[in-house]
Every structure is written in structure tokens, then in C-alpha cells.
Structure 1
């Protein structure tokens, strides 16, 4: 058989996701050995009885609250370190900063002298908000908040005031075993998570005037539920997959899910515990894991409550799935979340103006 004939028989599917976001499935079918998660599969069904579960009749929540956050690094800066003997507790030395120069240039003082002892830091903007979907008002922005921060391990760091707002200093303990960029990025993500919890809490307070009975709402967090499992009636919504957590035979079953079907609920433990299940959103037939999302809820709720949340997510979330010709991350990027992301990025401000404000501040 010629190469051309072989090629004519090859079947393939194009991943609908925008390549700049990676893939909706990143090694999910190959990294089984890499997963160290402790999985308890018999929460809803015994492993031998695992099968796709069809939607069931459930009572709709009074409102669905979608929570998301965005972040953007405005500049990498260098903070000059004071000479030994001039540290906090003896004498406070205000930090001087330099905006990172092109790779060929060394960070330099205003007099042109090379900075020999400076630590890299991040100036970033981040925002979080909540979209409420309720019968009386439809989908609408409920709460939003944004902040700017300076993330560093430099103990002499101070807040950086600019004409575009103040970058509040967050000093992270240094860890020589971890890459500095990763350490600072983690600190930024931690602050964003805290802001998401804050806006979610405020959103439930703001529901008072919406005619929604207390305790009848459902909170859907875009991303893992880590750090937010204490929020009642909350789901984590994971769009992409990097690791196969289930045993091979159960993992293979996920690819057989039809649109609207879900896997049985299982308990999963890594550095934290949670109930989890997989759900396929409505999508164009394609790759085995096309349209698959993972849902999470708290581990400390009864199994019956976790199964009830799974049934609710199965009946509710497919109606919010995005469409391929409108969203490059369809169907996983839910329509309310996509709209919220656009609004949050608008609140971050113009990156060119923010960069200019930082440069002015560094020169003053």
C-alpha cells in the first residue's frame, strides 16, 4: 500500500480549542502512571457496575452563581536590596525598583550604574466577579472587584503607588528549592483565590433582593475547588485535563459518555480531598474526550449530597455550554463565564497605560 493510500484511510479530529490555550485534553490518556491520587470509586456505584449515568429529574436551584477570576502580570521589576546591616528591625530602607529591561540589558540605576544585588518581583493586576443567572433578571453581573499587587520575596519591599493605582506589596517567604517565577506566580494565584472567595460571599449577600430563597442557590467556580471547599453548595468546574486519576478500566469508560451523561461520583485525594465526577457537555462528535469536564464538590459532605449535586450539575450545566463558532474553547467555556471573563479583563485597565505608570513611578 502506498503512503498516499495509507493517508487516505487515516481518520483524525481537529481540536476545536484555540491553540493559545493549550488543549482541552493534555496527556489525559497517557499519564495514568503519573497520578498519585488516592481514588475511592465506589461512592455511587461499585467499580464493576460503573456505567454512564443518564440525566434525572431534579429541582432547579433558585439561582446559579458563576464565579471566575483573571490575572495579568503588568511588569517584572527588580527591587534593590539594602546593604547588610540595614534590614527591617534595625533601619527601614525603602525599596527602589527598576522595570525589567530587554534581555541584553542589565537592570540599571538612574545614574547608569549596574545593580549588583536586586531581586525580581512581579507587578500584577487581578480581578474576580460573579454572574447571577436567576428567573427574575436572567444573566447579569452581580459582584466584581479588582486589585493590584506587588509579589516578591524581598523583605524590604513596600507598596508601589502609581497614577493608575497602588500595587500592594505581598512578601512571600523565599524557597531556594522552588523556581522564583513559580513561587511568585503561586502567591499571585493565592491572592486571586482569596478575592474569588470574597466576591462569592458578597454575591450570596447580594441575592437578598432577587427573590431567591435562602439556601437555594448553586455556586459554580471556574476551576478547581481548592481553597473554597468551605463554601456551601459549591462546585468546581475543570475545563481541561492533564492527569488520568481513575484506574485504566474506569478511565476508559469516560470516553463512552454521550452528551449529557456523567460518570458515577468518586472520592479523590491528592494534597486535598474532594468528591468528583466527569460530565460530557453537548458538542460536535470528535475526539474521545471532546466536551468532557470534571466537576468537584467538598469531601466532607455525605455521599448522598454529593450525588445530588452531580445530578443537578448534569441537568443544569449543559444548557450553558458554549458553541464552537462563537467560542474557541467550546463547549467547556460556559457562556456566563466567557462573558464574565471579558468584563473582568476590561476592569484590569489598559496594559500600556499601566506599564507607563509603573515606569514613571520607578523613575521618581
Structure 2
């Protein structure tokens, strides 16, 4: 028997989360015979003439729960709500010049509740726009923030231009702003491959990828797995899933796959700097820190909400 220690700090979960393991298959339709026939699958290295992208745009978002709130309904009842701040932005990395700059950053605030009578929550320092949700249980409310955050990410992704590669943190989910856009999934919650092809993922060396395959779910995509450089703390340590729009011609998708495997390893984080190394790309970690600063002082906002409610 062998033990593996996941390189991620346990406070951030695990780098591979597929329920009971690789047998926890996704229900999505998957077509493996895209770049190569299923029986001919092998680890792919980028052709020698493929060079890393010169300019890379990385898109990400963050959210924070600022307060739990309660409404006072006309019938004397009360319903729970969450006041949340969320932000999305873009960082531009010039890999030739060695620079990274924030080119877009937007902040929104909302109060999420099932109350039919609640309006915006106005405080001295910020206004939280009312978002009415269908399910009003307190434990369900944090998930309601994700929709508006994704919409904000879509909005800022529309500003992505003048780049050889656009990297969206997470699944694309309709955010294919350009033919150069890829989705970057750093935590594997679902297994999309049969056992034989999943075993190939576990054998990938740093910089190698699987062939491109097609995932048919709500947001169809062309996808591939890639291993980033880093310690081998387990069979799936350092593995990410990358995807592009399903509508792209196969040669263009393969070009993006090759480009990703020579570019993304250059952005991989180091364990002594990031507890989610190497999957949490260094520019994305920096963007997240910048966006959290843009959210403002949570204690000040909480105090302002308390005063407004009082």
C-alpha cells in the first residue's frame, strides 16, 4: 500500500475532489474520439515550434459575505438575507517583458433574500442592491451570490482584447469572448474519463496533456487535462482541466491546447508562496488579492449596515 499527501493546504480542500474517487463519473456526454481515436490516446507534448503566449489576460472573481440580515415583513414575520460584496477583474501578463498589470476591476454589492417586500439596503458607505431569490433558507443563500458574480465576470471578459491567450478561472460557462479564450479548472470535482483514459492522466509528466475530447453538458466544450510542474503528492497532483468553446474548429482547439501546455506552466505557483500550488496560477493569486482589497473594509461595512438598520 502507498500513501500520497496532497500538496494543497487542507484548509483549501483537495486538488482532486471527485466524491469517492475516480469512479465518481460525470453524467455529461463525453466524446473521446476528437483529436485521437480512443484506442490511440497517449500523453501529448507540444510541437517544438510552439512558443509561449507573449501577452496573457487572466480573468477571475472573488466574493465576500459582509453580513447576515433579517427582514421585517408587514405580517410580522421575518426572512433571512445575506449582504455580499463581489468583484471581477482582469490582469494582463507580458511574459516577454515580465510585467503584470490590472486592466479591469469591477465591484458590486447585493443583498440576497426571498423577501417579496425588501428593497435595496442603503448605508453610509455602500448600497447593496436587492436580489430576490427563490429559495430563502439561510444555508442556501451563499450559492445565490455565484450567479451575479459570474455575470460580472462575463461583463469584464468582454473587455478582454489584445492578447494571445485569455484565461478564465473556472469553467467558461458562456464566457467565450474570443477564439483565444480558455477555461481553467484547477480543482477536479468530476471525472469525465473512463478508467483507461483516467489512468493516462495519472501518468502525465509535467508539461504533458491528454488529447482533446468533447464534453456535452449545459455548456458544451472541447477539453483536455494538463499537468503543471510541481511535487508529485498524488496521482492527480498538479493536474488541471482546460477547456475552450465547442464551436471552435478542431485545428484551432488543438492549437490552443498546445499553447496552453507551454504557457500555463510558466505561470504555475510555488508551494512556499501558495497553499494551492501549482494549480493556483501566480497572476490569478495576485488578482484575487487585489480584488479583495477593492471590496473594502468588511468591518466598516458591517458597522454601517448595523447603523442603517438601527
TM-score under structure 2 length normalisation:
0.93
1:43 aligns with 2:31: no
User: Compared with structure 1, are the counterparts of its residues 254 and 74 closer, same or farther at alpha carbon in structure 2 (3 Å cutoff)?
Assistant: same
Q: Give 1:201 deviation, angstroms.
A: 2.1
Which residue of structure 1 aligns with residue 71 of structure 2?
Answer: 79
1:145 aligns with 2:106: yes
User: Compared with structure 1, are the counterparts of its residues 241 and 252 closer, same or farther at alpha carbon in structure 2 (3 Å cutoff)?
Assistant: same
After TM superposition, the structure 1 = structure 2 runs for residues 54-133 of structure 1, keeping only pairs within 5 Å, are 54-56=45-47, 57-83=49-75, 117-133=77-93
Which secondary structure state, in structure 2, belongs to the residue aligned with residue 43 of structure 1? coil
**Contact 2:160–2:177 (Cα < 8 Å) also in 1:** no
**Contact 1:226–1:272 (Cα < 8 Å) also in 2:** yes
Which residue of structure 2 aligns with residue 5 of structure 1?
Answer: none
**Structure 1: runs of 5 or more not aligned:** 1-9, 84-115, 205-211
CA distance in 2, matches of 1:360, 1:60: 53
Please, which moves more after superposition, 220-229 or 54-63? 54-63
**Contact 2:107–2:295 (Cα < 8 Å) also in 1:** yes
**Structure 2: runs of 5 or more not aligned:** none
Which secondary structure state, in structure 1, belongs to the residue aligned with residue 67 of structure 2? strand
Q: Give 1:136 deviation, angstroms.
A: 5.2
CA distance in 2, matches of 1:34, 1:279: 19
**Contact 1:132–1:140 (Cα < 8 Å) also in 2:** yes
Which residue of structure 2 aligns with residue 155 of structure 1?
Answer: 116
Q: Give 1:197 deviation, angstroms.
A: 1.8
CA distance in 2, matches of 1:156, 1:31: 47
After TM superposition, the structure 1 = structure 2 runs for residues 301-340 of structure 1, keeping only pairs within 5 Å, are 301-340=248-287
After TM superposition, the structure 1 = structure 2 runs for residues 153-192 of structure 1, keeping only pairs within 5 Å, are 153-172=114-133, 174-175=134-135, 181-182=139-140, 184-192=141-149
Q: Give 1:47 deviation, angstroms.
A: 0.5
CA distance in 2, matches of 1:119, 1:232: 45
**Contact 2:88–2:106 (Cα < 8 Å) also in 1:** yes
Larger gyration radius, structure 1 or structure 2: 1
Q: Give 1:203 deviation, angstroms.
A: 4.1
**Contact 1:320–1:335 (Cα < 8 Å) also in 2:** yes
**Contact 2:18–2:24 (Cα < 8 Å) also in 1:** no
Q: CA RMSD in A?
A: 1.9
Which secondary structure state, in structure 1, belongs to the residue aligned with residue 158 of structure 2? helix
1:198 aligns with 2:198: no
CA distance in 2, matches of 1:14, 1:247: 24
User: Compared with structure 1, are the counterparts of its residues 325 and 249 closer, same or farther at alpha carbon in structure 2 (3 Å cutoff)?
Assistant: same
CA distance in 1, matches of 2:123, 2:41: 57
CA distance in 1, matches of 2:73, 2:216: 42
**Contact 1:52–1:257 (Cα < 8 Å) also in 2:** yes
**Contact 1:282–1:291 (Cα < 8 Å) also in 2:** yes
Q: Give 1:12 deviation, angstroms.
A: 2.4
